[in-house]
Amino acid sequence: MKGAARRADDVASFLGRHSGLITRRWLRAVRQHMGIRPASREGFVGLVNQLPRLFAELRGAIAQGSAGPLDVRAQLEAQTHALERWRQGFALDELYLELDLLERCIQTSVREYFATAENREGQVCTHEVVESFFSTAIRSAMREYQQEADLRVVDALAERDAADLARRASEERLRLAAKAAGLGIFEWDPANGEAVWENPRMFEITGQAAEAGPLSAKQFAELVVDEDESAALRRALATGNVAESPFHATFRIRRRGSSAPTTVEIFACFMPGRGGRPRLVGTMADVTRRIEGEDALKQADRRKDIFLATLAHELRNPLVPIINAAHLLKKGDLPPSQLRWIQGVIERHARHLASLVDDLLDLSRISAGKVRLLKEVLDIRTIIERAIEINAPAAAARRHRLDAPRLDRTAATFVYGDPTRLTQIVSNLVDNAIKYTPEGGHIQLRLSVRNEAVILEVEDNGIGMERDSIQTMFRLFQQEGAAGAAKIGLGIGLSVTRALAAMHGGSVRATSEGRGKGSCFVVELPICDEPAGETRTPLRSGEPGARLRVLVVDDNYDAAESLAAVVGQYHQVRTAGSGEDAQRLARDFVPDAAIVDLALPGMSGYSLARSLLNSRESESRLFLIALTGHGQPEDIERSREVGFDHHLIKPARPEEILTLLAKAGRRR
């Protein structure tokens, strides 16, 4: 045993002395072996640096004379060697071959030792120890190498799965986005007619049955309504080039199974397909509603421009005679007949201007939903009377025959509504008939009851309307007239009329047998029961009653003085330009009534009204009229809360103011 131990020590010492030779042989074998790729110099240096520890472990194993468990340090060196070769791109068989060459070089040195020894005792055992040592080292290195490979495979699979999941999520987002946007996704090969439709929306847009499959580019071009657009699409598909800019076009198509045209918009681009042939890939959207909306906006914009031009014309026309009349008044000493004529000119055209302003204000209030109806139960016959009274002068000027039902022979017909707004509805329709009926024409009003509704018809024998015009007659800024005829009015009266009728739960419709055959406008309003024990008397501007002391307060000097001149015909009048002046004047004048502008400088009309009311005794209450340009519902409500008896919108008719003062005088 002692001899065997010494022999093992001698072999270990021999290998230690010849470690450099063994290393050179091994490196030469590695370089020359065709199965192993060339390594870098740094790689070989690293391998050489690993060998001393392996040799030390190997010599220890030989000295012990057995192949016991490999030392931990030796295993780590083998694992480090495996990882280094992994980073250099070695395959598993290359790593095995490299370590096998090292074992062969050491076995050769062992044989050289025993070839010079006195006897060969222990040679077999030494070879077995070396073989066992390298088997363990190789297994350790291989295990580390395999673990690293497995880890890389797991990482690669995880990256692949994550990429696949991200791709699926991206495709799902794209699908949902396309669905939400109503987009169809397509792919066309113009060369062979192949078509791929990625989602059902393409079938919905084109009307193609899903079971029939997608349409080719050529079949889709056949759906295009316009021949030029269809030909342009075919040319673009035939000459498509991947390098060209993206394809964008809008077409009107006739969907399969439908006669109504549909407008579609395509965004696409050419991309290389099989064989290098360009394929068109993109999205298609049904933009029919958008195009119709854009056309409607353009038409509305054109109507707005026409309206503004018409408004300027309508405002300038009455200003010309008013300015001319004012110039004539400068001369003085005019005969009474000419003064009466000037008065009529100014009054007529001023009322026309006031009517235009009222129409514009009504349009704004209705559009903003700020019209407040002061409803009451009333006889529709009184509304017809007022409307005829308003429009009779205009009808007479054009020599129209204006026929209305004999209201004294007609049964009372009650409705629930705002008398001012209902009068406006009827007056607008009569005025419209007067405008579009040539001189000497005939306008007729008829009143009846059908199906729990009051029916009022305003019929004329004027220019009439085409069927298409009837559908758009009630649109804003829409005007009707014969070809080449000048437009009349602002084109907002009928729109306001229909809106006011709808606010009363009624409707307005128009009929005509055609151009030159007259028109008929029909108003329907819900009927209601007659109020119990209530009698109504018509509003009259006569009978001025008691003579009153009236205070007119307005910071506009001309407005205050002109109103004072009108009221002064029947009453005693004083004027003030501010709230403070009005307070001082009221202490000495002690007015019975006051007509107050609300927008006064300094003290407002509201504050002035409170001051005047608080300074009076209860038995001699002041009669208050608000005369202002502010006519919103909140303005009217505020004036009532302050204590005003009436709220009039500028410019108010003088007859209306005189009537209110006459009522106050009769009460006194």
Task: Give 359-393 pLDDT, tens digit per residue.
Answer: 777 666 676 666 777 888 988 888 888 888 888 88
Q: Are 85 and 145 in contact (CB under 8 A)?
A: yes
Helices (H) and strands (E) in the chain, counts: 20, 17
Looking at residue 125, its pLDDT comes to 83
Would you call the peptide bond into 651 cis, given omega within 30 degrees of 0 as the criterion?
A: yes
How far lies 487's CA from each of 1, 318, 356, 479, 662, in Å?
Answer: 134, 16, 15, 7, 41
Rounded-to-integer distance, Cα 614 and Cα 612, Å: 6
Residue 617 identity:
E
**Beta bridge partner(s), residue 270:** 280
Concatenated DSSP letters of 521-560: EEEEEEB-PPPTT-------S----S--EEEEE-S-HHHH
Asked whether residue 165 is domain-assigned, the answer is: no
Which residues are CB-contacts of 163 (< 8 A; sequence separation ≥ 6)? none
For the chain, give the number of residues: 668
Structure tokens at 627: 């005369």
Residues 122 and 245 in one domain: no
Among 368, 386, 407, where does a domain finish?
A: 368
Residue 322 lies in a domain: yes
Last residue of a domain, one of 325, 348, 368: 368
Check residue 536 and give its pLDDT. Answer: 43
From residue 170, alpha-carbon distances to 162, 165, 177, 490, 590 in Å are: 12, 8, 10, 56, 85
Q: If you search the block for the tokens 């300015």, which residue do you land on?
A: 323
Considering the domain architecture, whether residues 63 and 122 belong to the same structural domain is answered as yes
**For residue 341, what are its two tokens?**
């004529």
Cα 434–Cα 438–Cα 443 angle in degrees, nearest 5: 45
Whether 307 and 340 map to the same domain: the answer is: yes
User: Are 489 and 359 part of one and the same domain?
Assistant: no
Q: Are both 200 and 331 inside the same structural domain?
A: no
Structure tokens at 336: 């009474």
How far out from the chain centre does Cα 159 lie? Answer: 42
Both 327 and 386 in one domain: the answer is no
Measured between alpha carbons, how far apart are the two ends of the chain, in Å?
153
CATH code (residue 271): 3.30.450.20
CATH number of the domain at 646, please: 3.40.50.2300
Cα separation, 378 vs 405, in Å, equals 18
Q: How many structural domains comprise the chain?
A: 5
CATH number at residue 52: 1.10.490.10
| Shared domain check, 8 and 149 | yes
Handedness of CA 87, 91, 97, 100 (dihedral sign): positive
Q: How far apart are CA 268 and CA 249, in angstroms?
A: 9
pTM above threshold 0.75: no
> Looking at the structure, do residues 141 and 13 belong to the same domain, yes or no?
yes
Q: Which of 526, 561, 582 represents a domain boundary (last residue)? A: 526
In a domain, 430, yes or no: yes
CA distance 384 to 367: 27
- One domain, residues 350 and 401: no
**Residues of the chain scoring pLDDT < 70:** 1-5, 34-54, 65-93, 95, 171, 174, 178, 241-245, 275-276, 306-307, 309-311, 313-314, 317, 362-365, 367-370, 406-412, 471-472, 475-491, 532-545, 617-620, 668
Range of the domain at 254: 181-286
What type of residue is 521?
F
Q: What is the pLDDT of residue 264?
A: 92
Q: Which residue has the tokens 């201007």?
A: 353
Q: Is residue 168 part of a domain?
A: no
Instruction: Write out the two tokens for 145.
Output: 């190498």
Taking the C-alpha atoms of residue 488 and residue 434, their distance in angstroms, rounded to an integer, is 11
The rounded distance, in Å, linking the Cα atoms of 592 and 623 is 6
Location of structure tokens 């009851």: 449
